[in-house]
């Protein structure tokens, strides 16, 4: 059995996230305390109690999701003696790539928290409220070719690109509001359903260049170590191990496409992965894994019971 650990991205947050882990394990509480101290805010209280509109803010949701993922990883190590090297690869969806790097010991938890806080703030600053938009194109006819055709029509009215190639039947576009509206109309004409997303900014498109510039400056001083296992990165959909490459790839990721479908397909075929394990809040990535690689096992680790069952399965 070859295993990959997956780390969720924005949208998987919810009030109460991580509470069960914190209540059950001191090692989880330690991670939340590290993140709180690094950020100078009681993020753990916001995660547990809300309000939801504050947790959903990009600058809070991003470090919060990382904190839950890393708390689960810490519990696996401290309580069950399972570290990241049980996996052949790690990968994370958008901000989850930072979680993957921290899980693989390429970044420290405090540094990751600070970088994600800045990333969220920079993304919010990059585009004025109401100027950008994102939409999810879904349905059996939806694939990358359909999404790119719709985006090409939208780009006649402004910036419009494929932001997330999640899986066949789920592709996200991003750009100027008018351009996304034009692309939605074309996508419907081509047979897809199109759902405008309730997001604060148009992520993973050229409009995010100011945020990429901010992250470029911030990542210059970040200390990267060689990861304990290869990290399959969003912008290339291939594994990377060189610390000096991660800075460049994380900057490119801000404006670049999240090539999640390709990343998963590579792990399932070339990487030989037969078990995908989502670590942290929600079950979005394990659901995608079932659609992309149905022959592989897919599961999510959200609760103490999940962690205990997973540990037992490795004995």
Angstrom distance (rounded) from CA 116 to CA 184: 30
Q: Is 286 a catalytic residue?
A: no
Angstrom distance (rounded) from CA 182 to CA 184: 5
Angstrom distance (rounded) from CA 74 to CA 78: 6
Angstrom distance (rounded) from CA 158 to CA 38: 39
Catalytic residue among 12, 44, 69, 94: 94
What is the four-CA torsion angle of 78, 82, 83, 88, rounded to 10 degrees? -170
Distance between start and end Cα atoms, the chain = 13
Contact 208, 255 (CB under 8 A): yes
Q: Is 12 a catalytic residue?
A: no
Angstrom distance (rounded) from CA 264 to CA 269: 9
Catalytic residue among 204, 263, 281, 300: 204
Phi, psi of 138, rounded to the nearest 5 degrees: -135, 165
Angstrom distance (rounded) from CA 66 to CA 100: 9
Considering only CA atoms, which of 115, 126, 94 is closest in space to residue 210? 126
Active site residues: 94, 204
């Amino acid at each position: 059995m070859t295993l990959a650990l997956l780390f969720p991205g924005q949208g998987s947050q919810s009030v109460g996230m991580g509470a069960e882990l914190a209540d059950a394990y001191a090692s989880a509480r330690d991670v939340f305390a590290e993140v709180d101290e690094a950020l100078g805010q009681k993020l753990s209280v916001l995660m547990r109690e809300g309000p939801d509109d504050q947790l959903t803010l990009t600058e809070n949701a991003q470090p919060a999701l990382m904190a839950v993922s890393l708390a689960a990883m810490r519990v696996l190590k401290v309580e069950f003696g399972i570290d990241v090297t049980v996996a052949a690869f790690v990968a994370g969806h958008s901000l989850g790539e930072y979680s993957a790097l921290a899980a693989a010991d390429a970044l420290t938890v405090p540094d990751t928290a600070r970088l994600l806080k800045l990333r969220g703030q920079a993304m919010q600053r990059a585009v004025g409220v109401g100027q950008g938009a994102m939409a999810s194109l879904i349905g059996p006819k939806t694939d990358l070719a359909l999404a790119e055709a719709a985006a090409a029509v939208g780009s006649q009215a402004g910036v419009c690109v494929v932001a997330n190639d999640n899986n066949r039947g789920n592709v996200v576009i991003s750009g100027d509001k008018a351009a996304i509206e034009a692309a939605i109309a074309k996508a419907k004409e081509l047979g897809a359903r199109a759902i405008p997303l309730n997001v604060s900014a148009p992520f993973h498109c050229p409009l995010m260049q100011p945020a990429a510039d901010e992250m470029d400056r911030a990542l210059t001083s970040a200390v990267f170590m060689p990861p304990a296992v290869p990290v399959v990165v969003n912008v290339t959909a291939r594994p990377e191990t060189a610390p000096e490459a991660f800075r460049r790839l994380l900057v490119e990721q801000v404006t670049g496409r999240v090539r999640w479908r390709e990343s998963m397909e590579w792990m399932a075929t070339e990487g030989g992965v037969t078990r995908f394990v989502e670590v942290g809040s929600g079950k979005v990535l394990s659901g995608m894994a079932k659609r992309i690689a149905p022959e592989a096992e897919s599961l999510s680790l959200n609760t103490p019971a999940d962690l205990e069952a997973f540990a037992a399965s490795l004995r």
